């Protein structure tokens, strides 16, 4: 009953009670009767005011803050959450965030759900910043691909694919990640620095040489070889695009979605290929911030963002592959995405729970041995 009240309704009711009180006083003969009736009115007004305040508080709680990446990604999520808002009577406010800004928001409990990546998410989980996802509130957990689940509090909503991008007018399609280090490509290769895809690449090289995340020497050594072929380190997608447009590079590590954008929208001669050793996910993770007032509703929002419908929306708008196995992409959409239900298992990923414990040491080593 209270949930249907609004503040203007409360004000009108208070006004009506007071008017009735004034009318009744004309007919109340004694002071004691007036005093008794006055106390009744005061109690009624206080009750209505309390109801109004309670309703206002409830209305404030009916908002979820979702922290995204900004730009087109947040616009696509806004389309996904419309039906959730209608079904749950809640307003989902999407705010863009990154880096230190996100860390502060999570630590200060300013957001309910955060979209991020495995490095950030697992570092925050180690600080007990996230609530474990409840399978009863997030039933879509059971239909996710296994490699989309990083922990009981961090899951991926969608994947992009890190592959080798190349200019077919200049080079043949690369077959292997090791091709990036070939001497004939000196000055013609681009990477983006110490980022998740290159951490995955270090791990892949280390494992193929008999090492692992805990023994990554061979991986760093191979990246140091690749670095000899790099004249310009990429710092943004726009910069990446211009390097191809200006014919400064022939090959790079880039995502399938950006390759399609550069080719189909920007008109560049560029293709992408999955190396024979496998490829890496650009993972968009979801986590629920602990200690917020609407925890159950936030979990339901995560479930909604993991749904086949949300996955289809993100795939059609942005070219990301849904992590829900029950999402079926139309052929014309699947044709634009390099990850498929058949090869999603070939995505190579580091042990991110371990990586976050050595992240700072790896970054220092990267700066000493690779990007000098």
Phi, psi of 157 (to 5 degrees): -85, -35
In the Cβ-directed half-sphere of 360, how many Cα atoms lie within 13 Å?
2
How does residue 287 score in pLDDT terms, banded at 50, 70 and 90?
very high
Q: What is the pLDDT of residue 256?
A: 95
Q: Quick one: which of 265, 177, 184, 259 has its CA closest to 219?
A: 177
User: Can you say how many angstroms the Cα of residue 315 is from the centroid of all Cα atoms in its chain?
Assistant: 14
Tell me if 356 sits within 8 A of 119, measured CB to CB: yes
**Element (H or E) spanning 313, and its range?**
helix 308-318
The pLDDT tens digits for 300-315 are 999 999 999 999 999 9
Q: Is residue 335 scored above 80 in pLDDT?
A: yes
Q: What is the pLDDT of residue 97?
A: 83
Q: Is residue 372 scored above 80 in pLDDT?
A: yes
Q: Is residue 58 scored above 90 in pLDDT?
A: no
Q: What is the pLDDT of residue 331?
A: 96
Q: Is residue 279 scored above 90 in pLDDT?
A: yes
Classify residue 293 by its DSSP letter.
T
Q: Is residue 46 scored above 60 in pLDDT?
A: no
The pLDDT tens digits for 253-278 are 999 999 999 999 999 999 999 999 99
What is the arithmetic mean of pLDDT over 196-212?
Answer: 97
Q: What is the pLDDT of residue 362?
A: 97
- Mean pLDDT score of the chain: 88
Q: Is residue 16 scored above 60 in pLDDT?
A: no
Q: Is residue 163 scored above 60 in pLDDT?
A: yes
Q: What is the token pair recorded at 295?
A: 């925890």
Tell me if 55 sits within 8 A of 3, measured CB to CB: yes
Q: What is the pLDDT of residue 165?
A: 98
Q: Is residue 185 scored above 60 in pLDDT?
A: yes
Q: What is the pLDDT of residue 3?
A: 39
How does residue 20 score in pLDDT terms, banded at 50, 70 and 90?
low
The pLDDT tens digits for 85-141 are 999 999 999 999 877 788 999 999 999 999 999 999 999 999 999 999 999 999 999
Q: What is the pLDDT of residue 56?
A: 45
- Percent of the chain's residues with pLDDT above 90: 80
């Amino acid at each position: 009953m209270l949930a249907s009240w609004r503040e203007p309704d409360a004000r009108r009711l208070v006004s009506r009670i007071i008017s009735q009180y004034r009318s009744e006083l004309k007919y109340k003969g004694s002071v004691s009767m007036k005093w008794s009736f006055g106390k009744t009115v005061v109690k009624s007004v206080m009750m209505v005011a309390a109801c109004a305040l309670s309703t206002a508080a409830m209305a404030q709680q009916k908002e979820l803050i979702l922290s995204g990446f900004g730009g087109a990604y947040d616009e696509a999520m806004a389309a996904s959450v419309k039906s959730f808002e209608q079904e749950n009577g809640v307003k989902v406010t999407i705010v863009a965030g990154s880096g230190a800004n996100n860390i502060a928001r999570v630590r200060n409990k300013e957001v309910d759900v955060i979209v991020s990546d495995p490095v950030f998410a697992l570092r925050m989980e180690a600080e007990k910043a996230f609530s474990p996802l409840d399978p009863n509130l997030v039933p879509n957990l059971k239909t996710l691909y296994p490699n989309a689940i990083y922990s009981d509090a961090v899951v991926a909503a969608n994947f992009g694919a890190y592959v080798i991008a190349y200019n077919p007018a200049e080079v043949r399609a690369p077959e292997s990640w090791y091709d990036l280090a070939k001497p004939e490509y000196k000055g013609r290769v681009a990477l983006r620095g110490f980022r998740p895809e290159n951490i995955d690449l270090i791990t892949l090289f280390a494992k193929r040489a008999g090492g692992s995340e805990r023994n990554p020497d061979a991986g760093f050594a191979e990246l140091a070889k690749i670095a000899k072929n790099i004249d310009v380190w990429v710092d943004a997608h726009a910069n990446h695009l211009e390097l191809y447009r200006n014919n400064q590079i022939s090959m790079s590590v880039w995502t399938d979605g950006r390759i399609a954008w550069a080719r189909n929208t920007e008109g560049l001669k560029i293709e992408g290929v999955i190396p024979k050793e496998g490829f890496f996910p650009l993972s968009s993770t979801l986590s629920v911030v602990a200690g917020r007032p609407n925890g159950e509703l936030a979990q339901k929002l995560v479930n909604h963002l993991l749904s086949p419908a949300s996955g289809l929306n993100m795939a059609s708008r942005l070219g990301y592959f849904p992590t829900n196995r029950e999402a079926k992409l139309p052929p014309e959409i699947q044709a634009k995405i390099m990850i498929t239900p058949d090869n999603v298992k070939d995505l190579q990923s580091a042990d991110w729970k371990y990586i976050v414990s050595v992240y700072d040491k790896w970054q220092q080593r990267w700066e000493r041995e690779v990007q000098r």
